[in-house]
Structure 1
């Protein structure tokens, strides 16, 4: 029989390709040095690209386990001593199916994307990532292996260009070395790198140039090594960015027709200077620390703990990973209106250091508890300081120290602590953190938390008669947490062991914050709270070509007590999770919980004999899917037993939160998120809350967009189903609408122009009676000089 040579050749090529795709020990990648000018235009027509190092990106690492890629991708790499150039030639059998939309920076997840991950110290702790979609829209950020956190908040200044063609698309990138922290003293640099492509069709493939072992819990430990950059220097690395804000704000009281006006005129200066190749200084004078984009809307009704909001301000975001620890001890949204700020960050060898100092015209403090928390304000000026040090003891141990301080005229808070992260094996890690605090509150600080009209009514809580829910209370937990005689101290400790391999995940943890602990520069919402728990997960993976790709069952148990050993909560969770085609994900879960409600006698912090233990059964479902290009849908449903905290009684709750993100075309995007929450008790409704967040963006090009935001909150309460409050004291209806129209032009993350208008309306009756109580018009301009 004559051999079928075409078929045999095809088989040999497939086997060869498969061998390349699953090669575990990726060879070192030499990066050639070139000279001459390169135009970042996605054309690749300069002669220098013929000498670039070519690397195949051909191994699917997710959702499948290192299988050959169905599409070909070639990466080209070269450098000139100042810039790292990368180009991706991404072939596609049907270019009409390429998912690429014009979006603002970091908003293109879900598109066809290519990019690079760089560990410039090659110490397996931290990596930059630079990605772009097929139109060149940038996504960048930091991946931290020590804290296991990834963030797109960090923004570098670099170039990218993408272009779709008849064979797929090309993306060209130019990464200035001045952005990266690396050891300039080395003759030859050795950086950990990974080249990736995301290919979303019926399923979203993550394609790489390296083999990723699912039994290895550390992805940064498996990067390939890029060798080159001989004599690379970071230069002066100086950025000077002046900015100006102009605007006008008007406000009025609900019962007034007179507007109070305030002109906004602020000039500020930001400086970013690489003092040495290892040390970076950020400084700001009279900064505009406001954010021009609305926070994501959140419902706070029937919630007893403070809400968390993400940081968006550039000064705090630059090298923010230097200050991270397991406890959130540096939550910079606490800092409001400083006159100046300075930050120093750097790495040298196995050492990393971060320190920042700001002042603040007034001081926001999160007051923690075990049944509630809230934000208090001290009107006096204060200063804030954060210090963070980490030391890498070999490749498997990281040791750290953190200190934070806030200091005012009659107020101070200091936190100091140590932490460690230890990797025993590729699958097993252990980490702990131990911190100590000392705090002094102003003598009258407690007054803003008193329920009584006369704050002196809750001054001496120890001598107050019992203050019950039925009688209407003069004091509460927040008063008792802030009514202190002199300074006080406390401690917190947490430990966490994890095992994660291809098939199993185990976790055991313990977390304790005693009643005297305060982390006022951070987001620490619970004290007098000790929690321990166990978790286990079993994972299964489908073979390539099935309608599903991953299924797992997860269960955990945790129990919480206060410092006196009294039970706060005991909880069992069980969930099943399925990932399938069309980037779909489905989770169904069940929770059984024993939890205490509000205190009956609010003049006492006791739990036993002073609270009701509620037994709860809760069911939850979450589903998401991307059925076609540009359309993303998800829905979260929670139903079961709830608590009416205001009246300390059991109820039935329902919450539904659908989300629709629709890219109508390459330029227009509509994002809608709606939250519906209701609570029934004693066979009648207690409240219904509806929150709608609609954001419509027209992206003219990569640099500019126009965005309209409307946030509508419509809450109804039943005045006749609150046993301890008179019906006339309850607003049966409350409505408010916030709107914002924003135009933005961004040449880079620090050279920007914004112009916008925002306002707010509210009403306690019907929609037709909405009354405007504030409005503002503003412009912001900043320009970054790079040297």
Structure 2
């Protein structure tokens, strides 16, 4: 009996594999229709009866291409200007469907269905469109070259969803005008994958295709879809005027009874025009580049290097992947407040090109180093531009060129470089990039970083322009910025990666010499080179087990400066486990030798000028979704840590719990607490606490009301700072920021915001918090599309 059953299982598996293989090899022919479709998730139009039907019946994760336990059918059709999709997702227990009203791109972890499209069929990048059962949209772009997946890109498309007694239905309309493709072809052939995410005890990723675990390029494995005969993108013109008005009050620094009031009204215009199907122009005049959405709160204490923040502004996000490379050379949050901007992106055959130019009312520059980086400002207008070219030489080789340029009075930074990727097979990939820069800083630019020894004699102003050089105590950014004559530098990196179904290993080398600058990018380190070798081994559970994957990862790296002096030597190892209820746990250990702060601040030398400390650290991260709508995680870490302010080895501990709770379909509450403590010489150095609370009531897919409260509470032990007068140490610092925001978004460009924010701070107790600023604002923009 057992042998007979075993034969049946083998026979079923064989038949399933043959069916899947045949389905994957046959192109999907998209049905053509003439009817008008109303996107309402009812599927009551006659045209849906003639749509191409595709079954999603393969579990690609966490299992290895096993049969799906649930039924999902996708319906596909097009009318020459719009790609229509519908998903009929069966569910044995619809009450367990995870569907909550969310803002755009925030529905990860919900039940989802969607599509991935490689519209040039070049296996380099793909659009991704996903929808939850209530119609909430997620969209973005995946880049195979850089391995980046970004939800920042926003298209304008339609979706609707509804839960039924047998599951749910989602209906989607993707206008072809928002997609880049070659409409000169008589018929399109696109890479395509249809997906369903089914989060229960395990989060099943269900697809119409098999995905090989040993092939790191998922885009290379997409099925082929044919259709869209004579499809045209149309004029592809979008004009978006915006109006932003605000009224703010700020407390005078010297008189706490005097408030300074400022009213501001700004109009702007954005234009997006498809000049040809292959060339897109973005232009903006007096743009509103303000970030309405609050950035994630993070502690910035005992950090030497600048923090990275994500770009959220539409002008820069559209086709931003055209400017990606192995180095982050185009970090557009460096551009603060331009009066205009223009961007041209295009693709023809195997060639892609991107170019943009903006001005800026002032220029923020990240001055890098090997032990610290800092940001300085040049007053007056500046220009910024970037040029990126890529050539898909063949299916396995990609070559590129990038140039960036920033300039202002007595300042410029020019970077040129070449890069490429070679895919030897499905498992082995090599990448490289070489850069050369030429830079000139303004005279006395370095003085912004100087610590002033004698402020009375120096008559110091905000940028310390009048300081005598003998009255400054230098630091690394000041020394890196002293040269006011043009100087040149170089950077390069190279890597090799192997990935198969069980093993992943890599090696890479990265060098930025002392005179290299990439001022339009985010490159906080120079005079620095690093060699890394590492890998991991993965084990997978059979279907039905309580766990799904176990991984052991380790790497070793070593870093030096240009003179060959040791900066850091590090060994990392961690173990990771994925299990039921989307639970994940990672236990890590690090043994690191690292130099501390420089003893003689006027010298960039490492040997004889720093102390080599040995840090042994551990960390534990765990997350789980135990019940519908609840997400929990905790991040614990501890061990040795360098106290950079006092150049000694201390002991660090951090506890950071997080709770996201969808109380019902409309209301979500998020809570995150970060506690960080540093002790040294058997006494406290500081304790920092950051509390981030956000409550959002989502009325529907288009509007929400959100309250955000961020509280930062830091205590320093002034007596345990070795190199500063205790009177110069702020023993207590507290600040409280709050924002109430109402948002209505008809689409990503047609929006209405109404908000109020305030800030309070204190150097005493919580009860002594005093408001020092508050602001009311409104933003209205409308996207006119032709």
For the residue of structure 1 that corresponds to 2:47, the secondary structure is: helix
Identify the residue that residue 148 of structure 1 maps to in structure 2.
147
Distance in 2 between residues matched to 1:33 and 1:636, nearest whole Å: 52
Identify the residue that residue 598 of structure 1 maps to in structure 2.
597
Identify the residue that residue 409 of structure 1 maps to in structure 2.
409
Is residue 81–residue 229 contact of structure 1 (8 Å, CA) maintained in 2? yes
Identify the residue that residue 330 of structure 2 maps to in structure 1.
330
Identify the residue that residue 392 of structure 2 maps to in structure 1.
392
The CA deviation at 1:303 is: 0.6
Is residue 254–residue 771 contact of structure 1 (8 Å, CA) maintained in 2? no
The CA deviation at 1:230 is: 0.2
Q: Show the 5 A alignment for 1:236-315.
A: 236-256=235-255, 257-315=257-315
Identify unmatched segments of 5+ residues in structure 2. Answer: none
Distance in 2 between residues matched to 1:140 and 1:205, nearest whole Å: 20
Deviations 1:600-646 (A, max 9, x none): 00000000000000011101111011111111111111100011111
Identify the residue that residue 485 of structure 1 maps to in structure 2.
484
Going from structure 1 to structure 2, the CA distance change for 1:339 and 1:279 (only over 3 Å counts) comes to same
How many matched pairs? 776
Identify the residue that residue 423 of structure 2 maps to in structure 1.
423
The CA deviation at 1:26 is: 3.2
Q: Show the 5 A alignment for 1:97-176.
A: 97-176=96-175
Deviations 1:201-250 (A, max 9, x none): 00100000001111112111110000010000000000000000111111
For the residue of structure 2 that corresponds to 1:102, the secondary structure is: coil
The CA deviation at 1:294 is: 1.0
Distance in 2 between residues matched to 1:39 and 1:485, nearest whole Å: 64
Deviations 1:481-516 (A, max 9, x none): 001131111000000110011000010000000000
Q: Show the 5 A alignment for 1:541-580.
A: 541-580=540-579
Identify the residue that residue 380 of structure 1 maps to in structure 2.
380
Distance in 2 between residues matched to 1:504 and 1:333, nearest whole Å: 37
The CA deviation at 1:778 is: 0.5
For the residue of structure 1 that corresponds to 2:289, the secondary structure is: coil
Identify the residue that residue 219 of structure 1 maps to in structure 2.
218
Is residue 21–residue 68 contact of structure 1 (8 Å, CA) maintained in 2? no
Compute the TM-score of the two structures, normalised by the length of structure 2: 0.96
The CA deviation at 1:254 is: 4.2
Is residue 20–residue 210 contact of structure 2 (8 Å, CA) maintained in 1? yes
Identify the residue that residue 229 of structure 1 maps to in structure 2.
228
Going from structure 1 to structure 2, the CA distance change for 1:7 and 1:408 (only over 3 Å counts) comes to closer
Deviations 1:656-693 (A, max 9, x none): 11111111100001111111111000000000000111
Identify unmatched segments of 5+ residues in structure 1. Answer: 468-472
For the residue of structure 1 that corresponds to 2:383, the secondary structure is: strand
Distance in 2 between residues matched to 1:736 and 1:87, nearest whole Å: 49
Q: Show the 5 A alignment for 1:627-666.
A: 627-666=626-665
Is residue 442–residue 484 contact of structure 2 (8 Å, CA) maintained in 1? no
Is residue 536–residue 554 contact of structure 1 (8 Å, CA) maintained in 2? yes
Q: Show the 5 A alignment for 1:421-460.
A: 421-452=421-452, 453=455
The CA deviation at 1:24 is: 7.8
Identify the residue that residue 342 of structure 1 maps to in structure 2.
342
Compute the TM-score of the two structures, normalised by the length of structure 1: 0.96
Distance in 1 between residues matched to 2:351 and 2:10, nearest whole Å: 51
For the residue of structure 1 that corresponds to 2:720, the secondary structure is: coil
RMSD value, Cα: 2.1
The CA deviation at 1:723 is: 1.8
Is residue 464–residue 603 contact of structure 1 (8 Å, CA) maintained in 2? no
Is residue 343–residue 355 contact of structure 2 (8 Å, CA) maintained in 1? yes
Is residue 24–residue 211 contact of structure 1 (8 Å, CA) maintained in 2? no
Going from structure 1 to structure 2, the CA distance change for 1:22 and 1:640 (only over 3 Å counts) comes to farther
The CA deviation at 1:720 is: 1.1
Q: Show the 5 A alignment for 1:87-102.
A: 87-102=86-101
For the residue of structure 2 that corresponds to 1:20, the secondary structure is: helix
The CA deviation at 1:586 is: 0.5
Distance in 2 between residues matched to 1:66 and 1:20, nearest whole Å: 12
Distance in 1 between residues matched to 2:121 and 2:6, nearest whole Å: 43
The CA deviation at 1:255 is: 3.9
Identify the residue that residue 77 of structure 2 maps to in structure 1.
78
Identify the residue that residue 470 of structure 1 maps to in structure 2.
none
Is residue 144–residue 219 contact of structure 2 (8 Å, CA) maintained in 1? yes
Is residue 503–residue 537 contact of structure 2 (8 Å, CA) maintained in 1? yes
For the residue of structure 2 that corresponds to 1:574, the secondary structure is: strand
For the residue of structure 1 that corresponds to 2:333, the secondary structure is: helix
Is residue 22–residue 59 contact of structure 1 (8 Å, CA) maintained in 2? no
Q: Show the 5 A alignment for 1:505-524.
A: 505-524=504-523
The CA deviation at 1:22 is: 6.0
Identify the residue that residue 58 of structure 2 maps to in structure 1.
59
Distance in 2 between residues matched to 1:88 and 1:262, nearest whole Å: 52
Going from structure 1 to structure 2, the CA distance change for 1:510 and 1:653 (only over 3 Å counts) comes to same
Identify the residue that residue 695 of structure 2 maps to in structure 1.
696
2:680 matches 1:681 = yes
Is residue 430–residue 497 contact of structure 1 (8 Å, CA) maintained in 2? yes
Deviations 1:340-380 (A, max 9, x none): 00000111110000011000000000010000001111111
Distance in 2 between residues matched to 1:295 and 1:188, nearest whole Å: 44
Distance in 1 between residues matched to 2:198 and 2:127, nearest whole Å: 21
Distance in 2 between residues matched to 1:650 and 1:528, nearest whole Å: 24
For the residue of structure 1 that corresponds to 2:529, the secondary structure is: strand
Deviations 1:273-294 (A, max 9, x none): 0000000000000001001011
Identify the residue that residue 363 of structure 1 maps to in structure 2.
363
Distance in 2 between residues matched to 1:544 and 1:420, nearest whole Å: 39
The CA deviation at 1:438 is: 0.6
Q: Show the 5 A alignment for 1:696-775.
A: 696-775=695-774
Going from structure 1 to structure 2, the CA distance change for 1:404 and 1:455 (only over 3 Å counts) comes to farther
Distance in 2 between residues matched to 1:74 and 1:61, nearest whole Å: 16
Distance in 1 between residues matched to 2:605 and 2:76, nearest whole Å: 65
The CA deviation at 1:13 is: 7.5
Going from structure 1 to structure 2, the CA distance change for 1:606 and 1:8 (only over 3 Å counts) comes to closer
Distance in 2 between residues matched to 1:456 and 1:477, nearest whole Å: 23
The CA deviation at 1:727 is: 1.6
Is residue 83–residue 174 contact of structure 1 (8 Å, CA) maintained in 2? yes
The CA deviation at 1:529 is: 0.4
Going from structure 1 to structure 2, the CA distance change for 1:491 and 1:10 (only over 3 Å counts) comes to closer
Distance in 2 between residues matched to 1:247 and 1:364, nearest whole Å: 24
Is residue 23–residue 211 contact of structure 1 (8 Å, CA) maintained in 2? no
The CA deviation at 1:773 is: 1.2
The CA deviation at 1:29 is: 0.3
Distance in 1 between residues matched to 2:609 and 2:356, nearest whole Å: 44
Distance in 1 between residues matched to 2:628 and 2:75, nearest whole Å: 28
Deviations 1:490-546 (A, max 9, x none): 000000110011000010000000000110000000000010010111110000000
Is residue 252–residue 260 contact of structure 2 (8 Å, CA) maintained in 1? no
Going from structure 1 to structure 2, the CA distance change for 1:13 and 1:371 (only over 3 Å counts) comes to closer
For the residue of structure 2 that corresponds to 1:720, the secondary structure is: helix
Distance in 2 between residues matched to 1:748 and 1:436, nearest whole Å: 41
Distance in 2 between residues matched to 1:559 and 1:689, nearest whole Å: 31
For the residue of structure 2 that corresponds to 1:401, the secondary structure is: strand
For the residue of structure 1 that corresponds to 2:569, the secondary structure is: strand
The CA deviation at 1:455 is: 6.8
Distance in 1 between residues matched to 2:7 and 2:71, nearest whole Å: 21
